[in-house]
Chain A
Amino acid sequence: MPAPLLVPALLGVAFLVLPLLGLLVRAPWSDLGPQLARPGVGEALRLSLVSATLATVVSLLLGVPLAWVLARSQLRGRSVLRALVTVPLVLPPVVGGVALFLVLGRQGIIGRWLFEATGLSLPFTTAAVVVAETFVAMPFLVISVEGALRAADARFEDAAATLGADRWTTFRRVTLPLVAPGIAAGAVLCWARALGEFGATITFAGNFPGTTQTMPLAVYLTLQRDPEAAIVLSLVLLGVSLATLLLLRDRWLGRGAVT
């Protein structure tokens, strides 16, 4: 291998892996049990897992059809639509949080109407956490599912049509199973992104323990007063991410390669 490629590649690996090793080295392993049992840790973890999962479910329900429209429909202005969908990918999450607040907040364009009609106010609730995470994470799912749809042979859909399947049946019984590995990959990406969400969540949902304080928020705030505890929380988050990735890689992502 040529050195001009090999050396930067090794540096890149070191850059990505060393911080994680540092985290493991500095972890108070002997003190781990009591630290994890502290009040608030379990709560934050549970809230994170639940809200990330709900955000992924919402992203699947909205994002898979959106990806289909982007990949398969003859809609005019599809490229504009795709650009709009990918804006949250590049937008700083804090800005996303501000935007959500302006639209869905109690004084917001939609939020005011919602509050007057039902008395419900979205910001600073667990629902707001899910909304913020969905806003930030769904584009990951849309992009990867659209990629899978484009890579899938559309002639299978022609074959289904000649067998009497309308487009909805074709989508359910042919397209969806064909791109299932892509959807699974997109869902994992989406879930991981939602789990780590910080900026939009703290801006739109605030930081209330038990209601809106997810793990990343807890890590950041704990780091100010109790670095040891912050390291423990970080370890938990790292462990959950890695476990999910490994589990899903074997259970879902591997299947496409086996058949």
Chain B
Amino acid sequence: MSLVAHVVVRRGTLALDVELAVADGEVLTVLGPNGAGKSTVLRVLAGLLRPDGGRVEVDDEVWNSPDAHLPAHERSLGMVFQDHLLFPHLSVTENVAFGPRTRGTSRPAARAAAEDWLARVGLAGLGDRRPGQLSGGQAQRAALARALVGRPQLLLLDEPLSALDARTRLTVRAELHRHLGDYPGSAVLVTHDPVDAMALADRVVVIEEGRVVQAGTPAEVARRPRTDYVARLVGLVLLAGQGAGTQVALDGGGTVAVAEDVGGPVFVAVRPESVALYLQRPVGSPRNVWPLRLAAATPHGSVVRCDLAGEVPLTADVTATSFAELGLAPGAEVWASVKASELTVYPR
């Protein structure tokens, strides 16, 4: 394991206590809502913020412990910030050469390394420009080159894509994925965007209110969310209950029939597109049918996302055509049904 960290920070209402471990060549994504403490974790790893406790070790070298603190400028790290933070008074090449220069590389060698990296990120020929003359995507590529040029042991990325527009984001994300694949050290990426997390991570850690609430591969996290926040991010509805046989008695009331035998505390994950809506109670008596009330309906791509209130709060995605045929208005009574085989059930 290359990065092993236990980060403890207490600041006002934030009580952060998070353990992370990242192997060489591995990309760990820290996912969480705003204010969860994600960026604080990165600042501690970078040495920009002195934690109240814990320990940071990189390649068995202690960067931080209760009685030692290696300042940021003595750590072998590269960091990419949300709004690139390229120095506005230096050219792009000078920005990328800044790290090698401060670490004692000669001017020509630093310049050559910078130009090499600018070419790698697709910015060959733009080195003489000022950061202000670059597009958002180009600036973020230059920032990546600046972070990687010194071959750091640890790469930190703080919301590297969230300042970009949707189109640029797509291409920069793909390039970032490629560069992260080539990067031999440990990488920690912080984001609140589940798409970034799923696309770029080898492993995902979800932080809420300063604690790790879930950790696993992107596929595991996406399939089996353990909190409402994660479930919402990956587009699922999470129901918690007690399993007995093929029945789950929900904590909030009501029961759900599932396809397999379960026991003890479980989660049931419902995909909104598997929920069907009817004006009358559907015939053929499927096992999972509930009379619910339409709380809100919002267009979501080609479907209408219907938030349903009642004994079993659900979300249903119905096509715009079906929605129009049903003629639903907020407050309308509807019947919702979902097949037991469409549900994912797993222990809590």
Complex: chain A residue closest to B147, CB-CB: A162
Segment at the B interface, from A64-72, A170-178, A239-247: A170-178
Question: In the assembled complex, which residues on chain B have CB atoms less than 8 Å from the CB atom of A178?
Answer: 87-89
Judging by beta carbons under 8 Å apart, are B89 and A159 in contact? no
- Say yes or no: A164-B150 contact (C-beta < 8 A), given A158-B48, A159-B79: yes
Judging by beta carbons under 8 Å apart, are B89 and A165 in contact? no
Judging by beta carbons under 8 Å apart, are B99 and A156 in contact? no
Q: How many A-B residue contacts, CB cutoff 8 Å?
A: 69
User: With the chains together, A155 CA to B88 CA distance in Å?
Assistant: 13
Question: In the assembled complex, which residues on chain B have CB atoms less than 8 Å from the CB atom of A177?
Answer: 87, 89-90
User: With the chains together, A159 CA to B102 CA distance in Å?
Assistant: 13
* Binary flags per residue of A71-85, CB closer than 8 Å to B gives 1, else 0: 000000000000000
Judging by beta carbons under 8 Å apart, are B48 and A164 in contact? no
Question: In the assembled complex, which residues on chain B have CB atoms less than 8 Å from the CB atom of A174?
Answer: 87
Categorize the interface residue count of chain B: 20 to 34
* Binary flags per residue of B73-98, CB closer than 8 Å to A gives 1, else 0: 11101110100010111100000001
User: With the chains together, A116 CA to B85 CA distance in Å?
Assistant: 55
- Say yes or no: A165-B102 contact (C-beta < 8 A), given A158-B48, A159-B81, A259-B130: yes
Of B73, B150, B156, the most chain A CB neighbours within 10 A belong to B73
The smallest beta-carbon distance between B258 and chain A, in angstroms, is 49
The smallest beta-carbon distance between B204 and chain A, in angstroms, is 24
* Binary flags per residue of B58-81, CB closer than 8 Å to A gives 1, else 0: 000000000000011111011101
User: With the chains together, A180 CA to B90 CA distance in Å?
Assistant: 13
Q: Chain A binding site: helix, strand, loop or mixed by DSSP?
A: helix
* A7 CB-CB contact with B under 8 Å: no
- Say yes or no: A162-B87 contact (C-beta < 8 A), given A169-B102, A173-B98, A259-B132: no
* B103 CB-CB contact with A under 8 Å: yes
The smallest beta-carbon distance between A167 and chain B, in angstroms, is 8
Judging by beta carbons under 8 Å apart, are B103 and A159 in contact? no
* B230 CB-CB contact with A under 8 Å: no
Of the candidates B90, B103, B130, B156, which one forms a contact with A164 in the assembled complex, judged by CB atoms under 8 Å apart?
Answer: B103
Could you show 11 A-B contacts with beta carbons less than 8 Å apart? A155-B85, A160-B102, A161-B47, A161-B48, A162-B46, A162-B156, A163-B98, A165-B73, A165-B98, A165-B102, A259-B88
Contacts from A to B (Cβ < 8 Å): 153, 155-156, 158-166, 169-170, 173-174, 177-178, 180, 259
Contacts from B to A (Cβ < 8 Å): 43, 46-48, 71-75, 77-79, 81, 85, 87-90, 98-99, 102-103, 130, 132, 146-147, 150, 156
- The 7 tightest CB contacts between A and B, nearest first, are A163-B99, A161-B72, A162-B79, A177-B89, A164-B102, A159-B85, A165-B102
